Structure 1
Amino acid sequence: MTVTLRNSTSAVRWRRLCATMVVLASMSLAGTSYAASPGLAEDPMGYAPDGSCAGCHEQQDSAWQDSDHGWAMREATPENVLGDFDNAEFEDGDIKARFHREDDRFLATIEGPDDPKADWEIRYTFGYSPLQQYLVELPDGKLQALTIAWDSRPEDQGGQRWFSLYPGETFTPDDPLHWRGRYQNWNAMCADCHSTNVQKGYDLDTDSFSTTWHEQTVGCQSCHGPSQSHVDWATKWQEDHPAATAESSETAETVRTPETPGLSAEDMGLPVDPANWEGKELVEQCARCHSRRQMLGVGTEPGTPLTDAALPSLLTDGLYHADGQIQGEVYVYGSFAQSRMYQAGVTCTNCHDPHTTRVKIEGNGLCTQCHNLAPPEQYPGIKPADYDSPEHHHHEPGTEGAQCVSCHMPETTYMVVDPRRDHSFRVPRPDLHEATNSPDACTSCHQNQSPAQAANTIQQWFGDLSRASQQGRPGHDLPHYGVTLQAARNGDPEALDGLVELVNNEDTPDIVRATAVDALASFGPPAVPTLESALHDASSQVRAAAAPPFAQAPDSARIQQLMPLVDDSDLAVRDEAVKALAGVSMMLVPDDQRDKLLEARRDYERRLREGADLPGNRLNLAVLLERTAREDEAIEQYRAALKMDPYFLPARANMVTLLSREGQAEEARDALREGLALEEMPEPDRGHLAYLLALSLAEDKQFEEAIEWLDKAAQWRPAHARTHYNLALLLDRLGRKDEAEAALDEGLRYAPEDPDLLYAEVYLNATQGRVNEALEALSRLRQVRPDDPQLQRLERQLRGQGAAQ
């Protein structure tokens, strides 16, 4: 299965929304307050010079040289540049470019709307297959990735050409998606995972970088840790064993022999010992980069538990389909963490060579290492069977449909030419399409069939999977978690029970349980007991997801529930607790815990300031400042986030709310109108801004203009019930009864069980003397809120009104 996700404006706006939901900004430790070109760090910090490992580990070094890691970032030399720089011309819409050389210098001449023609020297290459990007240097220590890339695939596969990562799209220089914009900035977006031990050196006041690395690309020490002590040990070992120096690889081959059985990593000067990593511990080391996550500003030193350095993204809309299949660029971990293989202890290196980064065996043989008639004893969950046979895959042997990955690892194409496989290793479930609107592997190939037809075929082959576990195994009582998560995304009140079941079911993958906890935050008081329990869960992801909902609780409840998490073993959990505790009255915090909370908050703020190179972290900093009564500074940081990305809705919405609260209503409305004027603003976001503008105008008694903006908001964001509610009540207030009822009916068409809309229906009918219609609406409202005592009193009033008529 292959799905192509085009890097269109709409797709990229989704990326912005995803950054909003999980605040994906990457934070690294700042070094200095002045800008400098990126380069090698002066302080070795325990790292050995580049190339130190090859003398003893020749085989591993040779395998690494041509790997994705080895090619992650290289100097732009004739050996490393793959693209055609022989005066090659490229044009896409209003963008024109010419790629040429001056001796060993590679240059790109680029011009576009409001973008004067200029030559830019290529400083570094980025990647090599199936595409290669190119980095140029701007002032303030910034490296930028060009959005025109080289398709390095063979010509017969459509490659060997220049292409745009955003075909047909044109961005002005002030757009963050322009190649000079923030989302194409190497320092902020890419550096952490394309070089070794990156120190960003970001300066918040000047928005500049002094970025350094210890290896320009992803070298040995990215995974093995700083290794100068190991090099010193190896040098001494060779001095003590002069006969071994004749064979350069012999040192590595002989240090752990029966002669030296107790030799440990520490004995050899190694900071970590990947050979002893097992299961989830090993996977988390890869996930430091191969995941969608929020970095926490403490670096990514090997051996660190994942949630002590980062907060992995949840299965949120825009990143993942409701059933957990990949949607946005999520980089493997979040998918693999859902899989039965992950639960069973399978690791990345079971399938991938850690040095070449390629799969160990091509084709179905990779899977049949374990999935065969005699599975390995360590994986008792595998049913013995001949999986590489028509009896299992029901396709002609040797065809695309007979490949394990076609059904169990469907592809989605990113960056126009880069297909990536879903690593959740799921059983095809076309029967879930109707409930989750997720794609399925069957109909992506058999496009002449509907999901229902495909589901019928699957049932004939394998039996009924409608009550199977999340990975398709029959005999389980719970439905697939995707059904529940989609219901929660839709705002279905009946999703509550399913979410609670997911959280409490320890067989459910932790990333799914954490996503369910996150979803429960919108279900009000009935969800509180489950959220309180989740604060003490064994999974750090679940604990981290449980903290934010308590940010709106009364101070005493917040302190009682969240202070224990300030001592949590994982930094991600501690940070979420500190964020949620921001703004509590320090007088209510027990004396023996007050200093601890203040110190944790100071540390969190310091890391936010050092990593405020992306809009998401500027937003987090502004929120912290606002909650701690530093309103002027908060407004400044909201403005800084919008300067980086004027489309960043949370920063604009938070800023205008704060401005209004500070008595600066006109400034708030100016900021809203500025956002509404942005041509590429997605309609749902435009609808949200229009809604806020309407509320501000209504507060100022500018009712007619408020109605105009509410009407626009309802068109741009029709599923937002509160917009229809306010529009209906405001129209009613102005005596426009028919229009009010029409607005209410439109809202109920999209959200028939919304309590506010149902209450408005009761009100409008009652005020016009239609008691029976009001009672019918009230009956539906009581089904949604069965335990609301006020509704019983309202019913008595309505029946009394009816009797009096």
Structure 2
Amino acid sequence: MRTRGVFVSAVLTLMAGAASTAAASPGAAGEPSAGQNTDTQITQRAPANFVGRQVCAGCHQSESQLWSGSHHDLAMQRASDKTVLGDFDNATFSYDGITSTFYKHDGKFFVRTDGPDGTLRDYEISYTFGADPLQQYLVAFPGGRYQALGIAWDNRPRTEGGQRWFHLYPHEKISYDDPLHWTGRNQTWNFMCAECHSTNLEKNYSLEKDSYATQWSEIDVSCEACHGPGSAHVGWAQATAKGKRSYDDKRKGLVVALSDRAGVHWKFDRDTGIARRNKTLKTHTEVETCGRCHSRRTVLSNRYGYGKPLLQSYLPRLLDQGFYYADGQIQDEVYVYGSFLQSKMYHAGVTCSDCHDPHSLQLTATGNAVCAQCHLPERFDRPTHTLHKKDSAGRQCVACHMPTKTYMVVDPRRDHSIRVPRPDLSVALGTPNACNQCHTDKPAQWAADHVAKWYGPKRRRSPHYGRVLQAGRMRTPNADQELARLAADPTRPAIVRASALSLLRGYVNPVALQALQNGLEDKNPLIRIAALNALAGIPPPYRFRVAGSLLADPVRAVRVEAARVLAAASVDGLTPKQRTDRARAFAEFIEAQRANADRPGSHLNIGVFYAQQGKPGDAEAAYRTALRLDPGFVPALMNLADLYRAQQRDGDGEPLLRQALAIAPDDASVHRALGLLLVRKGKKLAALENFKRAAELQPDDAQTGYVYAIALNAMGRTESALAVLEDARQRHPNDRQILLALVTINRDRGAREAAVRYARELVALSPRDPQARQLLDQLQRR
């Protein structure tokens, strides 16, 4: 405990001063022979191999029948008369001035549409992707690439608006040179989709050639995608049949033992009307197996660890702004894992297969009967609870507790946080709510008033972590204290606590630092990762002092994040073990980036990693690699220019920033970076134009307005500077930097009254900030 105090004190002092080989490729996918690995012995198990579903179906016929025709079965198929659902009878579809034609020739399917240079060409359809409610189509390109068409087939019934071609970006103009064009890197199947639509997929990307030799064992999501390679299980079954092994072997040779529900039953509590598990769930193997693909996450390794915790192979997204609403509801396409982790059901031990058949993927019952498995119908499925008429849509449990959000134009997906509707939060935070999803003609306040009428005014005062996360996003006064309390609350979901910790980044005070250190020592790896992420605002030497041990954490995702955050920390004074741990974690970070080597962003990450270690040559090479893959990748252009700045090479950096500006003329960050470079070269008037343009493009960014104002003030245009700062203050009333500038500029121009007023606001915003208190005291003594 003593070291904690030393760490917090030291930081404040410093800041005050300063798997197996795949069986086949897309060109020739095949099935392993039925007799593969017949002599495998469970007691001395060799590395398991993939055997194929035909082998599985030999014993598991009912499961195979359920799986047949499921979304997993139809995840990817060769294009044929049997699998293609779209209209290829010379059907046409027009989008942004381009008319595409879908037709058949010699029994094959083709589309005539705009290619990578905007010219109309004919492309053969190689594979179908999905089936319901939409079907996409893959086209083969040189270098082993498969590209997903931006035009898809709406497979809903015609009565629902389906049976038509539609574009996945209907409200945008995606021309051939847009990063989202169907021929671009962001629509490449090998990276964007393949892993979760086939079994035992190996991407096999060559960075040197920028090409793929992607392989799979089975084209779709088959048995072993979830259960893992099955040869040991087959060997166990055959040995058991010969009497060599007892049938009651716990794992039965399975690499992934999906036994979370084995021997489980749910018993109703008559007082609450809610069922409880008869035994505590000790592992989350099933949810994490599903979470591999049903989550928004980053890949950490080219080889998925079957049966291992999710964080050994992936880094899931937290409840970050732009991805989730402040109250945790789904916003961007984040799938269901992050939502389900927030739910009371997850924490009660509910798993995916409690509600979904694991083979057909269908719900285990119809309508409210799914929920009635654990919620007594006589208590919950009645008007006194639903407050809706018997046969109305609002009577369905999911209408209120699992509202939908539509993705890909026609695909409504349910939020799996399974929450109580809170229209009062919609009023306060601007978040959506289930009530107004149906009652679209009414405002959120109307819904909030009805809830208060039904349940009393206390309901709207019920604490919710959404208010705290919103305060953290907005940096409101005392947000750090609220975030620290939320992060320390063991009754809250781990993903919520982790999200609160991540929002403490940039706060340097005893409350925040203590919360981060507690987070670094938490038993939940997601919380440790978030605490590491928030450490980025603390000087590198002190990061290592408090977090260096996490370079040897048992969880890969924690080690990789520790490596990123501690890259700039010096190796001086490290013990041999610490150096070994550091080297291992650093190698894992590089491996995680190279798992995504086909993405320019991964090489950007490597470049930043090396730059922080003081290795400019390696950093430059990484940035150059990113630009080889995508010459128009603006972040790499900017980072390379910044690397040159650190080397006093602005002459080399300026052309890069001007190239970035030509590519992204409406990118405020490029204008700001170029303005700063021009200031360093003494071209202040030219720089001012860039700062002005940046502020126009990004009026809601406090830093952009601040930089423009400081530039104006430096050139003697103080009144204009104050006007910019005041506008920024109105937009960002809780921004410390803006208030500090208003205090000092007014003080320097002799406007003591205004300076005092702003200084008081600064103290109210940061009551524990000694600099703010000192400024106010000095001004009041004048």
TM-score of the alignment, normalized to the shorter chain, above 0.5: yes
Specify the code of the residue in structure 2 equivalent to 1:422: D
TM-superposed CA distance for 1:349, in Å, is: 0.4
Q: Residue 699 in 1 paired to residue 685 in 2?
A: no
Are the structure 2 counterparts of residues 755 and 107 from structure 1 closer, same or farther at C-alpha, using a change threshold of 3 Å?
same
Are the structure 2 counterparts of residues 438 and 646 from structure 1 closer, same or farther at C-alpha, using a change threshold of 3 Å?
farther
Question: Structure 1: which 5+ runs fail to align?
Answer: 1-27, 242-254, 374-384, 470-478
Q: Residue 512 in 1 paired to residue 512 in 2?
A: no
- Deviations along 1:406-464, one digit per CA (max 9) or x if unpaired, are 11111111101111011111111000013221011111211232111111111222233
Q: Which of 301, 306, 311 is residue 307 of structure 1 equivalent to? A: 311
Would the aligned equivalents of 1:556 and 1:588 in 2 still touch at CA under 8 Å?
no
Would the aligned equivalents of 1:151 and 1:159 in 2 still touch at CA under 8 Å?
yes
Q: Distance in 1 between matches of 2:180 and 2:20?
A: 25
TM-superposed CA distance for 1:52, in Å, is: 1.6
Q: Which of 462, 469, 473 is residue 485 of structure 1 equivalent to? A: 469
User: Partner of 1:457 in structure 2?
Assistant: 450
Specify the code of the residue in structure 1 equivalent to 2:127: Y
Would the aligned equivalents of 2:258 and 2:285 in 1 still touch at CA under 8 Å?
no
TM-superposed CA distance for 1:372, in Å, is: 0.7
Structure 1 window deviating more from structure 2 (750-759 vs 320-329): it is 750-759
Would the aligned equivalents of 1:140 and 1:208 in 2 still touch at CA under 8 Å?
yes
> Percent identity among equivalent residues?
41
Specify the code of the residue in structure 1 equivalent to 2:573: L
Are the structure 2 counterparts of residues 551 and 771 from structure 1 closer, same or farther at C-alpha, using a change threshold of 3 Å?
closer
Specify the code of the residue in structure 1 equivalent to 2:365: I
Q: Distance in 2 between matches of 1:206 and 1:465?
A: 63
Are the structure 2 counterparts of residues 795 and 72 from structure 1 closer, same or farther at C-alpha, using a change threshold of 3 Å?
closer
Would the aligned equivalents of 1:563 and 1:577 in 2 still touch at CA under 8 Å?
yes
Q: Residue 263 in 1 paired to residue 263 in 2?
A: no
Q: Residue 782 in 1 paired to residue 768 in 2?
A: no
User: Partner of 1:342 in structure 2?
Assistant: 346
SS at match of 2:55: coil
Q: Residue 364 in 1 paired to residue 350 in 2?
A: no
Are the structure 2 counterparts of residues 30 and 699 from structure 1 closer, same or farther at C-alpha, using a change threshold of 3 Å?
farther
TM-superposed CA distance for 1:234, in Å, is: 3.5
Q: Which of 419, 425, 438 is residue 431 of structure 2 equivalent to? A: 438
Q: Distance in 2 between matches of 1:261 and 1:40?
A: 32
Are the structure 2 counterparts of residues 305 and 794 from structure 1 closer, same or farther at C-alpha, using a change threshold of 3 Å?
closer
SS at match of 2:562: helix
- Deviations along 1:335-368, one digit per CA (max 9) or x if unpaired, are 1110000110011101100000111112111111
Specify the code of the residue in structure 2 equivalent to 1:700: K
TM-superposed CA distance for 1:758, in Å, is: 2.4
TM-superposed CA distance for 1:628, in Å, is: 2.7
User: Partner of 1:599 in structure 2?
Assistant: 584
Q: Residue 608 in 1 paired to residue 608 in 2?
A: no
Q: Distance in 2 between matches of 1:67 and 1:368?
A: 25
TM-score normalised by structure 1 residue count: 0.85
Would the aligned equivalents of 2:551 and 2:582 in 1 still touch at CA under 8 Å?
yes
Q: Distance in 2 between matches of 1:520 and 1:461?
A: 37
Would the aligned equivalents of 1:37 and 1:211 in 2 still touch at CA under 8 Å?
no
Q: Which of 518, 528, 532 is residue 547 of structure 1 equivalent to? A: 532
Map 1:218-617 to 2 at 5 A. 218-235=221-238, 262-265=248-251, 268-276=252-260, 280-372=284-376, 386-466=379-459, 479-526=463-510, 527-551=512-536, 553-617=538-602
Q: Residue 754 in 1 paired to residue 735 in 2?
A: yes
User: Partner of 2:4 in structure 1?
Assistant: none
SS at match of 1:132: strand
Would the aligned equivalents of 2:116 and 2:177 in 1 still touch at CA under 8 Å?
no
Structure 1 window deviating more from structure 2 (44-53 vs 391-400): it is 44-53
Would the aligned equivalents of 2:79 and 2:126 in 1 still touch at CA under 8 Å?
yes
Specify the code of the residue in structure 1 equivalent to 2:578: Q
Q: Distance in 2 between matches of 1:55 and 1:797?
A: 84
Structure number with greater CO (CA < 8 Å, separation at least 6) is 1
Would the aligned equivalents of 1:194 and 1:218 in 2 still touch at CA under 8 Å?
yes
Structure 1 window deviating more from structure 2 (458-467 vs 443-452): it is 458-467
Specify the code of the residue in structure 2 equivalent to 1:630: K
Specify the code of the residue in structure 2 equivalent to 1:731: L
User: Partner of 1:671 in structure 2?
Assistant: 656
Are the structure 2 counterparts of residues 120 and 431 from structure 1 closer, same or farther at C-alpha, using a change threshold of 3 Å?
same
Specify the code of the residue in structure 1 equivalent to 2:163: Q
How well do the aligned residues superpose, as a CA RMSD in angstroms?
A: 2.7
SS at match of 1:110: strand
- Deviations along 1:227-269, one digit per CA (max 9) or x if unpaired, are 123234444555779xxxxxxxxxxxxx9xxxx662332xx43
Would the aligned equivalents of 2:26 and 2:215 in 1 still touch at CA under 8 Å?
no
Would the aligned equivalents of 1:30 and 1:203 in 2 still touch at CA under 8 Å?
no
Q: Distance in 2 between matches of 1:709 and 1:577?
A: 37
Are the structure 2 counterparts of residues 772 and 460 from structure 1 closer, same or farther at C-alpha, using a change threshold of 3 Å?
closer
Q: Distance in 1 between matches of 2:21 and 2:713?
A: 56
Q: Distance in 1 between matches of 2:502 and 2:169?
A: 32
Q: Distance in 1 between matches of 2:137 and 2:258?
A: 32
Are the structure 2 counterparts of residues 611 and 80 from structure 1 closer, same or farther at C-alpha, using a change threshold of 3 Å?
same
TM-superposed CA distance for 1:38, in Å, is: 7.9
Are the structure 2 counterparts of residues 439 and 36 from structure 1 closer, same or farther at C-alpha, using a change threshold of 3 Å?
closer
Would the aligned equivalents of 1:84 and 1:99 in 2 still touch at CA under 8 Å?
yes
TM-superposed CA distance for 1:42, in Å, is: 9.6
Q: Residue 708 in 1 paired to residue 696 in 2?
A: no
User: Partner of 1:140 in structure 2?
Assistant: 143
- Deviations along 1:25-48, one digit per CA (max 9) or x if unpaired, are xxx9999xxx99685699996110
Would the aligned equivalents of 1:114 and 1:172 in 2 still touch at CA under 8 Å?
no
Are the structure 2 counterparts of residues 669 and 494 from structure 1 closer, same or farther at C-alpha, using a change threshold of 3 Å?
farther
TM-superposed CA distance for 1:58, in Å, is: 1.1
Specify the code of the residue in structure 2 equivalent to 1:463: G
TM-superposed CA distance for 1:93, in Å, is: 1.9
Structure 1 window deviating more from structure 2 (431-440 vs 533-542): it is 431-440
Specify the code of the residue in structure 1 equivalent to 2:356: H
Would the aligned equivalents of 1:95 and 1:112 in 2 still touch at CA under 8 Å?
no
Are the structure 2 counterparts of residues 368 and 492 from structure 1 closer, same or farther at C-alpha, using a change threshold of 3 Å?
same
Q: Distance in 2 between matches of 1:113 and 1:763?
A: 54
TM-score normalised by structure 2 residue count: 0.87
Structure 1 window deviating more from structure 2 (518-527 vs 660-669): it is 660-669
Count of aligned residue pairs for this structure pair: 728
TM-superposed CA distance for 1:639, in Å, is: 4.5
Would the aligned equivalents of 1:92 and 1:164 in 2 still touch at CA under 8 Å?
yes
Are the structure 2 counterparts of residues 80 and 607 from structure 1 closer, same or farther at C-alpha, using a change threshold of 3 Å?
same
Q: Distance in 2 between matches of 1:719 and 1:161?
A: 40
